[in-house]
Each structure stands twice: as C-alpha cells, then as structure tokens.
Amino acid sequence: MKYLGCAYYPEYWGADRFETDAKLMQAAGINIARVGEFAWSRMEPKEGEYTLDWLHQCIETLARYGINVLMCTPTATPPEWLTSKHPETCLVRADGVRAVHGARRHYCTTNQTYRRFSATITDVLTKDLARHRNIVAWQLDNEFGPELSWCFCPDCQARFQAWLRERYGTVEELNRRWGTGFWSKDYTDWSQVTLSNDLSSYSSRTLDSKRFWSAMMIEFAEKQSDIIRRNTPHVMVTTNGMGPIYSHIDYYKLFAYLDVACDDLYFDIGTMDANVCAMNIFRSIKPGKRFWVTETGSGALDHNKPPHPLQFRAWAWSSLAHGAEAHMIFRWRTCLSGQEQELQGILEHSGQPRQRYKAVQNCFLELRKHWENLQDLPPPDAPVAIVQDYDTLWGYEASRIGSSVKYTGLVYDVHKALWRRNIVCDLIPTDRALNPYRLVILPSTMMISQEFAERLNLFVRNGGTVLAIGQIGMRDDSDNYLPYPGPDHLQELLGIRIEGGMYLKSHVEADEALWEPAPKSRDIEVGITGVLGAKKVHGSAGTWVADVSLNGASFLMRFTDGAYAEQPAVVSRQTGGGNAIYVASTRLDTALFGEVLDHALSQARIQHGIATPENVEAIRRANVVFLVNHTQSSASIPMDTPREVMVGAYRAGMADLGPYGVCVLRY
C-alpha cells in the first residue's frame, strides 16, 4: 500500500526516543506516522505560549527515516488551562450537567469560544509546520462525534432555535410540520423549543435535533479545514471517521468538503462482513477516490480478545484489495499511563519490540514488496448500490419502532447477501447519481422525496432495476406518518398502495400479562409463496408486513397466513426498460431474501462473483484476483490458471488458502 503506518505520540515519549522509534518504524516497513491529535497541552502549555520545537525535531527525525506524517489539529483534547478558564466550552449533557475535564471530546463544537481557540491553534500549527515536506495530510481533530454526549448547552439551544427558524420560518409552521396537536405540544415562542435525544418526545423534534448536531459538527470541521487550506494549500485535509455506518454525523456531507475518506476500522470490533461493509462505505463516500484506514489494532483492544497474528495480515490484504491506500496501526507503543493504558501498541510498555512488532513487520514488508505491481489497479467495480439514508436512519432512532426495525441491520443484511456472492456494492445517499448502477436497493427507506422518486423513475425507465424493501415512503421528512397511503411518490413506479402494516408478534393470551412481570412479546413469522422467474419459491417474513393493495404491479408472491393472508408479499412492475420490485416486509428469511435478490440481480443482468466458502472473499480488480480467507480453516478455491501467482499457493486448478491465508493471482 502507499501508506503503512501508525499513530505516534512524540509529546508523550519525549525526544530521547525519536531516533530509536523512527529506526524501528523504518525496519518494520512503516512510512507514515500520525502525530499530534492529543498534544495540545504540550504544543501550547499556557495560553498563547507555543512550544513546538519537539514537534519539528520529531517530524525531521521521521523524515530522515523516510517516514511521512499525517499531522493533526489537537482539538479533540483541549488543555486544562482552556477549560478551567472557559468552562462554557465544555458540553452539557441531557440532564443539564456540564462535562468536566478528564477525558476527551468533552467540549462543545458549537460554542463560539471553543471555535475561536480551535481556529487559533489550527492557524498557528499549520503556519509553523508548513515547511515540512513529509507532512502529506492534515487530520482534523479526532473521531468527531458525541463520544460523551451530544451537547445541550445554552449556546446549542440558541443556535438550534436559529437553525429551526431558518428551516421553518415561523413557530406556527414548525407546529404544523412537527404535528404538535397531540398532547397539547404547540409552541408559541422559539425559546420554548429545545433539543431532544430520546424517545420520550415527538420524533420530529428528535430527528431535527440529530440533523442539527450533525450540521454543527460539520460546520466546525469546515472552519478548521478552511484555515489549513489557506496556510498549506497543497496538503490534503481529512479526518478519521468510524463505523461501517456511523450514525451520528452525515458522513456523505462531512467528507464532501474533505480530500480523502478515512475510517478508524478496528477489524476485531465488527464481523468480517461489517468490516467489508465499512470499506465499501468509505470507498463510496468519495466516488473514484481511494479511502484510508487511519486506525486499526495490532493487538488486543484494552484487555479484550487479541487478533490472531495471521489474521492481522488477512485484514491488511483485505484492506488493500477493497481499495485502501493507507493502513495505519493504533498505536506505536503501549502508553504507560492514561485512559488507554491497556490498549496494546506495536511495542510493549517497556519500549521493546516483541511478538506484535514481528507480526506487523512481516505483514508490512510483504505489502510493500507487492505494492508497485498493484497500485495502479482500478477500484473494484460496483454494479449495485444500496441506498443509505441518514434521515431514515435518524427517523428510526427517533421512533419507538426503531427497536423492532433495525435499520442499519437491514442495510448490513442486504450488504452481506451481496458480499456472500462476491458482488461489490456501493452504499450511497439519496442525492447520488444512479446511472453508474444496474441495481439500486432501498432497504426500508422510510422517507422518499419527490426529487429522489423522480430520479428512481428515470433510472428504471432507462433500464435499471429497483428493489424496494419494507417501509418505503411511509413518513414525511419530519418523521411523521402520512395522512394518506404510501409509498410517497412511488405508488406508480412500484404499482402499489401501502395502506398500513403490522408488526409480527403473537396474539395476547388470556394467561399472560403483556407488561408484567416481563413482556412476553413473542416474534412470529408468516409464510410467503409464489413464483420468481420460473421458480416456485417459499419462505417467511418477520418483524413487519405491509398491508398492500395493487395499483398496477404484478403479483409475484403472496402471504399464506396471518392478517394479510392472500395479500401481495412480493410484486413487480415494469416501467420503460426497467423493473421495480417491492417486498412487503422489512425482513425475509435469509434463503428467501437470497431468491428475491437473485431475481433482481437476474433482472439487472448482474452475475455472481467467484464462489467461495463463508468468510472467504474474492475481489476481482482488472486482471488481478485477491482471495482472502478470514477463517481458521483451510480453503481451496477452484480458479483458472493465472499468469502469475503473486502471493500464496496455486496448484492444479486450485488456489489453496491456509488459515487466514491470502492468495493474489494475476491473469
């Protein structure tokens, strides 16, 4: 890969170690170090007094060993002198208690004082460090988001009211849009409208609060990046994201302003399909660009499960295969003190290289050896797009039904089914161009704007296939239900009316209490049967089913029992050269969903990728195929004879993968 690296804390270890560390890094194949994101108190120990000599010395030492720097603004951890002089810069939790110094991300990014201090340190740093040519990018802050809590401080409340005024004009319009007529909730003055982040209030209010906080964080990021670009216009600006789907900030909007999408992707936190989903998301965030993995672990997080040393290598190859350009370990050396005292770095507490150093070194030297031959590969080709809509996500979070319908889970399920078929997909927002794709999947996209509906229409008319699943277009953009049947703006394209729906729970029994002592809410399933293509197919639906009446669509499958027995379960309607399929349930059983997906893929003329066992993946990019085994068992994959076996073992028509094995074949 272009960049192999680690997070490095020169402010913690002191100048005595710079030479030793840089040398050890170089020997391990490291060519980039992330520096400075928590170092504010050592950069500016007192207000306006800057001590940056150590930083210059460190960056220069790294340069001598051929190591680039991802330099950070240090605003994720304001120094004590700042927060003790300006306590109003600390965030206020929902219960009204102000956060105190002692951790990180305890500040309010909306607060004007904090923004002023943030601008000054960013300006000073970027000017002062501008001369170092090995600084290849700037990272803003660290892992933006509500690590402690979103903020409810007076500044945020006032700004929220201004933001709402901007959006709605009058309190009366806000009342109308939020539907405040139940429980006497009408507002008569902007000052009455405050932030909310739970289920006890109107979902409209919570949804708008989430939109507001996301917008504020993005505004903070944009202001920092403006300063950096003014001072060092040639250097990339980015920040490190999280997740597969990070639910707190609209990353499509955040990274639109930045130069590269970065993910702190700890492969051991999620399942492998979630890790791949993360990579597909970050590759989708900035189309046509490569993403960076800015943090991943080389050892156990805290004192939790450690990765297998070979697994670390499998993850790195997967990262490269999915289009990453950087792969960076958190962190160089385990800290002796502090909140993350147990989170293992590459070196031991003692500073000695032991087992983890060797595992990283082996992996990085191998990756560097092959990079020259792989760096010009085009990104993986994605014929499918899954729509991932932040309004829908926040709408579910703001509503009680979010505990039944797990929106991100639905997205992950769809993604996983594609990954099992080794089909690459993008995950896109509703305002993204649809023409690069042959199949667009809407997993319970609750809010459908007219504009988006029109583009979906055009997409189908032009030959595209749409697969719409579950609660499609059932709420307005304030998270309220429609006073008419759904799906909003899509009744014609899908050829149906959604009259209502039902959550699939067993009926109440005479001898069971619903709420006492414990809710015995038993989930049920209802049967589905019908014909897809020429194939008779059976299966079941769970969680929720729609009360659908036909409005032009063809009946492919029907419910066999339950309240909607004999009603449509899967329907399809052709428009122009394309086709739209609707599934009247948020969740089908895995096999049935596979059949429906295969039907849609076949409509869209998309073929499966290379067949592999579960958790073994095959990624084809131009004439190179990457096979990565994420399991402890060996696997043999039938493959045509390649021109070159770049990595791993190929023999008699088979690529042989040991536990966590990797095979790269050039055709």
CA distance 55 to 51: 8
Residue 466 in tokens? 């749409």
DSSP annotation string for 612-653: --TTEEEEEETTEEEEEE-SSS-EEEE-PPPSEEEESEEETT
Q: Which is nearer to its own copies, 398 or 606 (CB)?
A: 398
Q: Which is nearer to its own copies, 455 or 630 (CB)?
A: 630
Q: Which is nearer to its own copies, 12 or 371 (CB)?
A: 12
Query: Cβ of 446: how many Cβ atoms within 10 Å?
Result: 28
Supply the minimum distance, in Å, between the C-beta of residue 101 and its own copies: 7
Within 13 A of 343's CA, how many CA atoms are on the CB side? Answer: 13
CA distance 542 to 644: 48
Burial of 269 (0-12, 13-18, 19+ CB in 10 A): middle
- Among 116, 65, 114, residue whose Cα is nearest residue 90: 114
Q: Which is nearer to its own copies, 265 or 374 (CB)?
A: 265
Q: Which is nearer to its own copies, 449 or 615 (CB)?
A: 615
Supply the minimum distance, in Å, between the C-beta of residue 137 and its own copies: 21
- Helical ranges in 10-111 per DSSP H: 10-13, 18-27, 40-43, 53-64, 80-85
Supply the minimum distance, in Å, between the C-beta of residue 438 and its own copies: 29
Residue 136 host element (H or E): strand 135-139
Supply the minimum distance, in Å, between the C-beta of residue 198 and its own copies: 10
Supply the minimum distance, in Å, between the C-beta of residue 306 and its own copies: 6
Supply the minimum distance, in Å, between the C-beta of residue 504 and its own copies: 9
Strands 262-264 and 291-296: parallel
Q: Which is nearer to its own copies, 184 or 607 (CB)?
A: 184
Q: What is the DSSP letter of 556?
A: E
Supply the minimum distance, in Å, between the C-beta of residue 2 and its own copies: 26
Supply the minimum distance, in Å, between the C-beta of residue 143 and its own copies: 13
Residue 276 in tokens? 């791949």
Only one residue has tokens 């402010």, namely 11
CA distance 32 to 315: 19
- Cβ-contact 592, 539 below 8 angstroms: yes
Residue 567 in tokens? 């009603």
**Looking at 462-518, which runs of residues are DSSP E strands?**
465-469, 496-503
Only one residue has tokens 């997906």, namely 597
Supply the minimum distance, in Å, between the C-beta of residue 418 and its own copies: 16
DSSP annotation string for 186-230: --SSGGG-----STTS-HHHHHHHHHHHHHHHHHHHHHHHHHHHH
CA distance 577 to 478: 34
C-alpha to C-alpha distances, 75 to 79, 107, 116, 421, 650, nearest whole angstrom: 9, 9, 11, 43, 50
Supply the minimum distance, in Å, between the C-beta of residue 601 and its own copies: 24
Residue 96 in tokens? 């009204």
Radius of gyration of the chain (CA): 27
Terminal Cα distance for the chain, rounded: 20
| Sequence-ordered list of residues with C-beta below 8 angstroms from that of 657, at least 6 positions apart, any chain | 616, 627, 628, 629, 634, 635, 636, 637, 648, 649, 663
Q: Which is nearer to its own copies, 11 or 598 (CB)?
A: 11
Supply the minimum distance, in Å, between the C-beta of residue 212 and its own copies: 17
Q: Which is nearer to its own copies, 349 or 535 (CB)?
A: 349
Supply the minimum distance, in Å, between the C-beta of residue 578 and its own copies: 28
Q: Which is nearer to its own copies, 350 or 462 (CB)?
A: 350
What is the torsional sign of CA 207, 208, 211, 212?
Answer: negative
Q: Which is nearer to its own copies, 113 or 201 (CB)?
A: 201
Q: Which is nearer to its own copies, 482 or 531 (CB)?
A: 482
C-alpha to C-alpha distances, 272 to 147, 275, 287, 305, nearest whole angstrom: 24, 5, 23, 15
Q: Which is nearer to its own copies, 267 or 317 (CB)?
A: 267
Supply the minimum distance, in Å, between the C-beta of residue 368 and its own copies: 25
| Sequence-ordered list of residues with C-beta below 8 angstroms from that of 418, at least 6 positions apart, any chain | 384, 386, 424, 425, 597
Q: Which is nearer to its own copies, 183 or 652 (CB)?
A: 183
Q: Which is nearer to its own copies, 502 or 611 (CB)?
A: 502
Supply the minimum distance, in Å, between the C-beta of residue 589 and its own copies: 18
Q: Which is nearer to its own copies, 80 or 431 (CB)?
A: 80
Supply the minimum distance, in Å, between the C-beta of residue 501 and its own copies: 9
Residue 575 in tokens? 């428009």
Within 13 A of 597's CA, how many CA atoms are on the CB side? Answer: 26
Residue 178 host element (H or E): helix 171-178
Supply the minimum distance, in Å, between the C-beta of residue 536 and its own copies: 29
Q: Which is nearer to its own copies, 10 or 495 (CB)?
A: 10
